Amino acid sequence: MSVEVITIILVLITFATYTGIGWWSRVRDTSNFYVAGQGVPTLANGAAIAADWMSAASFISMAGLVAFLGYDGTIYLMGWTGGYVLLALLLAPYLRKFGKFTVPDFIGDRFYSSSARAVAAVATIFISLTYISGQMRGVGIVFSRYLQVDIVIGVLIGMAIVGFFALLGGMKGVTWTQAIQYFVIIIAFLIPAFAISFQLTGNPIPQLALTSSDIIDRLGQIQVDLGMTEYMVPFTDLSMINVFMVTLALMAGTAGLPHVIVRFYTVKSVRAARWSAVWAIIFIGLLYLTAPAVGAFAKYNLIDTIADQPLEEVQNIEWVSKWETTGLLQLDDVNGDGVVNFTGGEDNEVFIDGDIIVLSTPEVANLAPFIIALVAAGGLAAALSTASGLLITMTSAVSHDIYYRIFNKEASESQRLRVGRITLLIALAIAAYVGINPPGFAGEVVALAFGLGAASLFPVILLGIFDKRMNKEGAIAGIVTGLGFTLIMIGAMLSQSILGTDEPILDSFFGINAQGVGVVGMVLNFVVSFIVSRMTPEPPKDIQELIENVRAPEIDE
Amino acid sequence: MNQTLNEKQKWYWKKNIKLIISLLVIWFLVGLGAGVLFAEPLSNIQFFNVSLAFWFAHQGSILVFILLILTYAVRMDKLDKQYKEMLKDGN
């Protein structure tokens, strides 16, 4: 059987499973639709969090990003896992104790203000929307590369599947599908990792092989020989202050991601929230500990296969020609010597999109066709699981926070559910549109969504729990300052792609780049909300009681 | 809610805060400390076939993050139990 046929079979089997789960878990009330009736077991929730969290970016892009950044790739490794510590210790247990449906719910109630609720809802929608366009791009890449399907059709198929189980099952359907998708993702990631690790180092455990074999040394040596930067030396691609700031921005931003926070509302108790955090970080850690090894091994293998080889021979390799047609790999014999020159300088003739590192690993390492198909199914699972979580989050922000809590407080259960499903359909259509016509700056915006989350949602939730004196005035002033500052800075630094100027209006903020500037916004948010809250009246008695209650231990389980 | 219950809740909250702060200190020292701030000096220390800084940045920090979250869950379970026992004794 050819790779294509196996891939189609595997994708069909996984899609049929997801659809079946959607049908089995269909729901009739808002509690199930938004938070799965708060009855999800700890282990399943951990797997669902992991799948929800690990997007197409984690599965497809991250190992490649790390491989190209070398040491400095730690911004993604630490940024995306370290944020989880903040989430598990500082936010998750208290939000579960609070026990409503959404993140804007907490912000709106805690700061007794419809405008705070509306700002939080808009931030939620914005973050989720930028995120979902990245997922759809991932779906498109997998379909076009593995099944030679047009990207448009690929996106539409993906949206139809997600739409089916999300519409029927709401959060309940999404949760159970994500739990299954986690296992597809991790198996698809680990098997090629074992194989390439064994092939290159003789040690099948990639984490151990990374440390104990000489592959990093060899990779560093090859890179230096070819005129690229050292692999193991810190701060060759980014300055120390940027590595620090970007890592911190990704951490705080990760902790403030509404579609991940909302997962902690779905479990039975505060204790269950803490333990699902444990399971989730173990599940996530498994992939994040493997990714830097896969990235390094795959890069070594790739350079080794094509650098300084005759151009004609390289172009005859099957995977090279297939990736060339997608445009993600380009070979251009600039100096016409018939040899592939792969260097870090002007004479470089190889252009590689980092996204193909993971997807091409099985082929570069000559693994069996079944494994190639498995990676395709894993990439789809990663993209679809995150997309479905984002859809539910956007839907609840519109139908629960804005429609029900602000505009129509009298709405009945069935009205709310209907509005929820209609909103989901609209969100689905928008997501499909941005998936098919990604805005030119989509990639940048996704990374920056973290900066905006760090400067807005994270500080506000944190202060809402840990500072009893924090009031409406302080919180709103803080969000507006943090968000405003970060938006202006990002707009000025990326003005070439966002506003279309010839030169960036601003190079950096005292050496901090656009990805890391959210940390400054976050600090401003903390300072401004502290000062403003101390100059204005303290929050009403019933709000102070609400905070006491969120902090108090949960007695019955 | 009577006064003694509030006292106990305050004790519980204080214990919780103390635990969170000590875990976050480790989080900072291992992640942003060993991986970023002290990366240059730690680069000179060999750890198997890589430098210690590189190992922390690409492996060690993630392992520590997992342990921190696990520790928090275990210690909070213990605290919950102590709290419940205090409630029983008080009644």
* Secondary structure (H, E, C), A33-51: HHHHHHCECHHHHHHHHHH
Contact call for B31 and A278, based on CB within 8 A: no
In a domain, A484, yes or no: no
Helix (H) or strand (E) holding B51: strand B50-51
pLDDT at A440: 54
In a domain, A466, yes or no: no
Contacts of B74 (CB under 8 A, 6+ apart): none
- A76 close to A203: Cβ distance less than 8 angstroms: no
B83 interface with A at CB cutoff 8 Å: yes
Q: How many CB atoms sit inside 10 A of residue A422's CB?
A: 15
Which one has a higher pLDDT value, B90 or A233? Answer: A233
pLDDT at A253: 92
- A407 close to A424: Cβ distance less than 8 angstroms: no
pLDDT at A330 over 90: no
In a domain, A332, yes or no: no
- A283 close to A178: Cβ distance less than 8 angstroms: no
Contact call for A81 and B58, based on CB within 8 A: no
In a domain, A514, yes or no: no
In a domain, A419, yes or no: yes
Of A82, A210, A274, the CB nearest to B72: A274
Q: Is A556 in a helix, a strand, or coil?
A: coil
- A108 close to A476: Cβ distance less than 8 angstroms: no
- Tell me the shortest Cα–Cα distance from A278 to chain B, in angstroms: 6
Question: Mean pLDDT across the stretch A29-39?
Answer: 80
pLDDT at A245 over 90: yes
- Separation of alpha carbons A16 and B43, rounded Å: 50
- Separation of alpha carbons B3 and A218, rounded Å: 67
Of A85, A234, A289, the CB nearest to B39: A234
Chain A environment of B72 (Cβ under 8 Å): 88-89, 274
A9: CATH: 1.20.1730.10
- Separation of alpha carbons A447 and A130, rounded Å: 9
pLDDT at A188 over 90: yes
pLDDT at B91 over 80: no
- Tell me the shortest Cα–Cα distance from B2 to chain A, in angstroms: 14
Residue located via tokens 């991932």: A138
- Separation of alpha carbons A92 and A264, rounded Å: 6
In a domain, A415, yes or no: yes
Of A77, A85, A554, the CB nearest to B69: A85
Residue located via tokens 């007794």: A112
- Separation of alpha carbons A272 and A42, rounded Å: 6
pLDDT at A137 over 60: yes
Contact call for B59 and A289, based on CB within 8 A: yes
- A183 close to A47: Cβ distance less than 8 angstroms: yes
- Tell me the shortest Cα–Cα distance from B61 to chain A, in angstroms: 7
Question: Mean pLDDT across the stretch B15-22?
Answer: 97
B32 interface with A at CB cutoff 8 Å: yes
Contact call for A240 and B36, based on CB within 8 A: yes
- Separation of alpha carbons A245 and A403, rounded Å: 37
pLDDT at A110 over 70: yes
pLDDT tens readout for residues A353-390: 887 888 888 888 888 888 888 998 999 899 888 888 89
Among A39-48, A402-411, A535-544, which range has the highest average pLDDT? A535-544
In a domain, A85, yes or no: yes
pLDDT tens readout for residues A42-98: 888 999 999 998 888 888 888 988 998 999 999 999 999 999 999 999 999 999 999
Assigned token pair, B85:
């026992």
B45 interface with A at CB cutoff 8 Å: no
- Tell me the shortest Cα–Cα distance from A471 to chain B, in angstroms: 21
Mutate to test the interface with A, among B8, B58, B68, B84 (most CBs of A within 10 A): B58
A113, HSE (Cβ side, Cα atoms, 13 Å): 17
pLDDT at A420 over 90: no
In a domain, A261, yes or no: yes
Q: How many CB atoms sit inside 10 A of residue B71's CB?
A: 16
The domain in which residue A135 lies consists of: 3-309+354-437
Measured CA angle at B58 (ends B56, B61), to 5 deg: 45
pLDDT at B2: 44
pLDDT tens readout for residues B38-53: 999 999 999 988 999 9
- Separation of alpha carbons B35 and A234, rounded Å: 9
Residue located via tokens 């120390």: A240
Q: How many domains does chain A have?
A: 1
B39 interface with A at CB cutoff 8 Å: yes
What is the separation of C-alpha A358 from the centre of its chain, rounded to a whole number of angstroms?
16
Return the sign of the alpha-carbon dihedral for residues A411, A413, A419, A423: positive
